[in-house]
């Protein structure tokens, strides 16, 4: 093996001085520390090749990695051709490792292929010439501590696509900076012709007045941008740390300087999947933000790579327990009251979509906008502080994960797939319950069973999440019997079919309200919704449930259960203690064993209370209750110190 290393190393030096068209490594290439090597021609690390560079490696043409690149501990890889207009980095392995990376070209720059990960252990120096991340290419840096990048005249260019809707918001965060800060003027460019002019995008333009709409690019017949797209300045806002709700938004403009990690809002241009280009020095290293308890702030992924939301939340769990991402729901007006959209929620249990009208064109099913584990490049998101403290965005939270819709997605479209789980992990199960109001707004709530955690049925930080934007009509989890809080995610440990999860339901309008099973993942048991008043259970695994309820708050009536026998859990009476029946316009309660009764209520089949008896009326062995209501099914709910039981009668 030593001779293979030595002979290949000598061959590389030799080829630098001979006019060969290609350099190919099929074995082990080792460039040791304090050694300088020049590649004058295209270099291919073949599928059998192992590339180790701890020295100074100058690549003057294209680099193709089809094999393995070891993680180096020193050295610099230079792309510095003065012959080739554009050098390329590509390969079937879809990633490569460098220690330091320097771009020093007098011509255009270096283009990284779509879906390729450029992993740099230390710093990037854009001395001269640009580094272009094409499509879903990403730059990941892994060192600890503060930003180590340096820049001369070169820049990083990275695409991201926004909403098509001129009325709809995206929440953004720049992956680049200029002298430490970012502004749209100088940092955001029109990417409509990125496929043909990838290194020379035009600066976006800005308009201000009525009708307050952005405008698409003007293109020539070859799809070159003649006039750049317009962003409407009116909708540019940040949300610095605040607990003022809607009034915490702060107006910015195209020249406002934003620090890395700060989020901002911007509306669309009316073009399908409008492509923007961020241009500047790549953000890198640690960024810290200080919050006071109950304060919220609009932040975002500051890196030109994906951000692992689970790692971000776990690292900052003493201060925050979730992130919230705005999803436009097909807004058709600039008036606040007419906005259609909401905040998706992501925590350590998983993610849920916001409450939106699923049938609106361009939005798709609620399941299509469920947030993923990996936050896409340039995605903005809200955090809310549980307690006062610092939160940090770190290189250790970065990952190479493209927007495949499975693990990562920027919130502009809804074409996603169900997530997959590694066979080496403990099996986690998920149940997605849907609620639809008469206006067809669809709310999804998530129940997760996570065997590797110690999460119990009480509140668990990081695993249970509150709604950020509850509507007037809502369904939600109730945890620890706290009926003042609306939970959209509940995570517990391993599944137990005796578990019961209380569900709150608030209804403000008449009409059809549906509760349904949106989806299950790694779960095969039937899912029931239990009616604690009527003592019935509906199998959501077979069909949706449409209770015909009057407007009101139903906070202790419904539960999610997995065993229809759970209906009997509250029946502490001995079977022969009571007889309840209807005869001759009377309800008869025959208290055979003289149990001390404390409460009797009578409900119609909708669960509406129509009669209640005082304790003084219950001190008899045989209780006769005059009952002349219209014919139908009724529930007589009897309670004592021994327990409670519901009895069905038909008059």
φ/ψ of 383, rounded to 5, equals: -125, 150
- pLDDT score, position 68: 97
Please, are residues 229 and 264 in contact by the beta-carbon 8 Å criterion?
Answer: no
What is the DSSP secondary-structure string of 408-447? EE-TT----------TTSPPPEEEEEEEE-TT-EEEEEEE
Distance separating alpha carbons of residues 268 and 169, to the nearest angstrom: 7
Which of 348, 315, 341 is CA-nearest to residue 465? 348
For 331-346, b where at least 16 C-beta lie within 10 A, e where not — what string?
A: beebeeeebbbbbbbb
- pLDDT score, position 393: 98
pTM for the predicted model, two decimal places:
0.85
Please, are residues 42 and 15 in contact by the beta-carbon 8 Å criterion?
Answer: no
* Category of 79 on φ-ψ map: left (φ > 0), alpha (ψ -120 to 50) or beta: beta
- pLDDT score, position 103: 95
466 DSSP β-pair partners: 487
Fold held by 578-650: Immunoglobulin-like (2.60.40)
Pseudo-torsion of CA 82, 112, 93, 76, nearest 10°? 50
pLDDT along the chain (651 residues), means of 10: 39 41 91 94 96 96 96 95 90 97 90 97 95 97 91 94 90 97 98 96 95 95 96 97 93 98 96 94 97 97 97 98 92 87 94 81 52 94 97 97 69 43 70 94 95 94 95 96 96 95 95 93 95 85 88 94 66 64 90 85 84 81 90 86 78 83
Distance separating alpha carbons of residues 641 and 286, to the nearest angstrom: 59
- pLDDT score, position 366: 45
204 DSSP assignment: P
Give the H/E segment covering residue 106. Answer: strand 100-112
- pLDDT score, position 566: 59
- pLDDT score, position 568: 52
474 DSSP β-pair partners: 506
- pLDDT score, position 567: 57
Distance separating alpha carbons of residues 23 and 43, to the nearest angstrom: 5
H/E/C letters for each residue in 447-504?
EEECCCCCCCCCCCCCCCEECCCCCCCEEEECCCCCCCCCEEEEEECCCCCCCEEEEE
* Span 424-431+463-566 CATH architecture: Sandwich (2.60)
- pLDDT score, position 414: 39
- pLDDT score, position 643: 72
Structure tokens, 208: 């201000």
Helix/strand/coil percentages in the chain, nearest 5: 10, 45, 50
């Amino acid at each position: 093996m030593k001779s293979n290393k030595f002979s290949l190393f000598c061959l590389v030096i030799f080829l630098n001085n001979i006019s060969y068209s290609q350099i190919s490594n099929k074995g082990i290439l080792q460039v040791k520390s304090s050694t300088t090597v020049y590649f004058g021609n295209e270099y291919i690390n073949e599928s059998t090749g192992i590339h180790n560079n701890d020295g100074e490696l100058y690549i003057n043409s294209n680099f193709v990695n089809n094999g393995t690149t070891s993680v180096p501990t020193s050295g610099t890889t230079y792309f510095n051709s003065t012959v080739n207009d554009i050098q390329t980095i590509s390969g079937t392995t879809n990633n490569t490792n460098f220690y330091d990376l320097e771009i020093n070209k007098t011509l255009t720059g270096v283009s990284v292929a779509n879906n390729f990960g450029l992993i740099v252990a230390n710093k990037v120096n854009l001395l001269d010439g640009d580094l272009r991340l094409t499509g879903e290419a990403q730059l990941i840096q892994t060192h600890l501590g503060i930003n180590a990048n340096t820049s001369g005249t070169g820049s990083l260019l990275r695409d991201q696509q926004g909403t098509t809707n001129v009325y709809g918001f995206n929440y953004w965060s720049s992956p680049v900076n200029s002298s430490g800060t970012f502004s749209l003027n100088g940092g955001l460019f029109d990417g409509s012709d990125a496929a043909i002019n990838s290194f020379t995008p035009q600066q976006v333009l800005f308009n201000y007045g009525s009708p307050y709409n952005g405008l698409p690019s003007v293109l020539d017949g070859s799809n070159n941008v003649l006039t750049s797209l317009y962003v409407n300045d009116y909708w540019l806002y940040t949300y610095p740390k605040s607990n003022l709700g809607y009034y915490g938004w702060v107006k910015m403009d195209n020249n406002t300087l934003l620090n890395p990690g700060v989020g901002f809002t911007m509306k669309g241009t009316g073009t399908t999947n409008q492509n923007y280009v961020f241009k500047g020095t790549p953000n890198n290293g640690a960024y810290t933000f200080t919050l006071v308890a109950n304060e919220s702030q609009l932040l975002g992924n500051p890196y030109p790579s994906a951000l692992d939301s689970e790692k971000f939340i776990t690292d900052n769990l003493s201060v925050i327990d979730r992130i919230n991402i705005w999803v436009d729901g097909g807004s058709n007006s600039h008036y606040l009251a007419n906005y259609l959209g909401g905040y998706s929620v992501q925590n350590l249990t998983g993610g849920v979509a916001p409450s939106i009208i699923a049938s609106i064109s361009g939005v798709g099913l609620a399941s299509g906008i469920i947030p993923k584990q990996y936050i896409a490049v340039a995605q903005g998101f809200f955090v809310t502080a549980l307690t006062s403290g610092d939160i940090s965005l770190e290189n250790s939270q970065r990952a190479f994960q493209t927007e495949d819709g499975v693990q990562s997605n920027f919130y502009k479209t809804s074409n996603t797939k169900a997530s997959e789980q590694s066979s080496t992990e403990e099996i986690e199960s998920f149940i997605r319950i849907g609620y639809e109001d008469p206006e067809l707004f669809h709310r999804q709530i998530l129940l997760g069973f996570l065997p590797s955690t110690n999460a119990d049925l009480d509140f668990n930080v990081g695993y249970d999440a509150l709604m950020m934007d509850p509507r007037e009509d809502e369904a939600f989890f109730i945890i620890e019997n706290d009926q003042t809080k609306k939970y959209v995610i509940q995570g517990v440990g391993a599944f137990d079919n005796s578990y019961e999860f209380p569900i709150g339901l608030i209804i403000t309008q008449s009409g059809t309200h549906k509760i349904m099973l949106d989806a299950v993942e790694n779960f095969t048991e039937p899912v029931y919704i239990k009616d604690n008043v009527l003592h019935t259970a509906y199998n959501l695994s077979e069909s949706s449930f449409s209770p015909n309820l009057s407007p009101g708050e139903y906070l202790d009536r419904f539960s999610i259960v997995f065993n229809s026998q759970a209906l009997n859990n509250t029946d502490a009476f001995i079977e022969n203690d009571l007889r309840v029946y209807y005869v001759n316009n009377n309800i008869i309660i025959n208290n055979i064993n003289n149990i001390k009764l404390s409460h009797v209520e009578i409900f119609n089949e909708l669960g509406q209370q129509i009669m209640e008896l005082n304790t003084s009326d219950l001190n008899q062995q045989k209780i006769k209750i005059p009952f002349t209501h219209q014919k139908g099914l009724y529930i007589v709910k009897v309670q004592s110190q021994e327990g409670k039981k519901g009895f069905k009668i038909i008059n």
